[in-house]
Structure 1
Amino acid sequence: MAGYVDPLVVGRVIGDVVDLFVPTINMTVSFGSKHVNNGCDIKPSMAANPPSVYISGQQSDLYTLVMTDPDAPSPSDPTMREWLHWMVINMPGGTDPSRGEEAVPYMGPAPRVGIHRYVLVLFRQKSRLPGVASPATRANFNTRWFAAQHDLSFPVATVFFNSQKEPANRRR
């Protein structure tokens, strides 16, 4: 009988973006009617607008949501690892990103070469983060470093999807 292997390990999210952790919060993510499961494929055109995200937890707890692409500009040469696509801070538990503060505006997937992973990581905050928590640049963002700088510790939930450039005649 084969053992269970975490898709975050198989997809190299654990290692490339975050360290091994135990999820403690439920997070659901969807683009329209497409629910995001680890490793699923989402077309860039489907992800042009921010996803619907809902997290469990207590409303008295605050969370930070980070979305990055660890494969920028290409999976074989990720010299801009990680590219920051979205950040919402001070999001109360039991809600969605609209109840938090958008520190970095959403930027949909735009892979030029290869299949890219887009990782959404949720951290529990120990206290309210100041609005200046947003990084100066999207390129070479480091999720681990950001978490350490803002005393966020380990993630409480993570999900990732894959996306690749769509042929011009297939875009909707």
Structure 2
Amino acid sequence: MFRILRCLLICSIAVSMVNIKVFTRAMSTVATSFSAYGIVPDVIPVAPEALATVKYPSLAVVSEGNVLSPSQVQDVPQISWNASADKYYTVAMTDPDVLSRKVPTLGEFRHWLVGNVPGDNVTTGQTLAAYIGAKPLPGTGLHRYVFLVYQQPGKLNFYEPRLRITSAINRVTFSIHKFAVKYGLGTPIAGNFFQAEFSLGLGKTPLLFKWFGR
């Protein structure tokens, strides 16, 4: 019996050590990638502690700066993280590179903003800005599209305009960091990001060009 208990204890310790190593490695890669791509400090001052999993209906998967085509990311993605069922979260997707990374005069563009998300059930959260997929303008190079998850101190009242898909002008010159400070959200607990540039695959989006005087 003693040998069995000793064996179980050793196995438990080994599993714990593996989990710690995996968690530490994930934290390290997040901090490194967010810094390498300039998301820290362009968007937030401190990197999230963990990666959020982001998958699109097109089967595209977001992976720390991988390049995706705009056509792959037009539908609302599924995002998940290590959430607690009894906590509320804010989920955001933002593009700091509008009009371009070199000339970000209109960044950040809030592509998606959902508050009061119970656990990781984003569909039942409070949509503050309906999802708009990546539509970078031609000649503006790669844009960074950043997903961030914040744990709220509780259920909040958000005094923000509710932005529909057609509400584009009100989405520019946004700051997710200032938003987080305003509502006491602290540092993001999870995040991820991809890059995309203009693609002829979508064709011209007349409304988008109209928004920016093109």
TM-score if structure 2 supplies the norm length?
0.72
Cα offset, 1:169, TM superposition: 8.4
Q: Which residue of 1 aligns with 2:141?
A: 114
Q: Alignment partner of 1:79: what SS?
A: coil
Q: Distance in 2 between matches of 1:20 and 1:161?
A: 18
How many residues get paired?
167
Matched, 1:105 2:138: no
Q: Identity over aligned residues, as a percent? A: 28
Give the number of the structure whose residues are more often strand, by fraction.
1
Asked whether the 8 Å contact 1:55–1:96 carries over to 2, the reply is no
Deviations 1:116-168 (A, max 9, x none): 00001110000212243457821100111100000001110111100001134
TM-aligned CA distance change 1:150 to 1:77, over 3 Å:
same
Matched, 1:48 2:74: yes
Q: Distance in 1 between matches of 2:203 and 2:48?
A: 39
Q: Distance in 2 between matches of 1:22 and 1:85?
A: 19
Q: Alignment partner of 1:155: what SS?
A: coil
Q: Distance in 2 between matches of 1:169 and 1:132?
A: 34
Q: Which residue of 2 aligns with 1:150?
A: 183
Q: Distance in 2 between matches of 1:105 and 1:169?
A: 20
Q: Which residue of 2 aligns with 1:72?
A: 98
TM-score if structure 1 supplies the norm length?
0.88
The one-letter amino acid paired with 1:123 is Y
Cα offset, 1:50, TM superposition: 1.1
Q: Distance in 2 between matches of 1:135 and 1:144?
A: 19
Give the number of the structure whose residues are more often helix, by fraction.
2
Q: Alignment partner of 2:114: what SS?
A: strand
Asked whether the 8 Å contact 2:93–2:110 carries over to 1, the reply is yes
Q: Distance in 2 between matches of 1:21 and 1:71?
A: 18
Gaps spanning 5+ residues in structure 2: where? 1-27, 164-169, 205-214
Deviations 1:24-52 (A, max 9, x none): 5x521011322211011111111111111
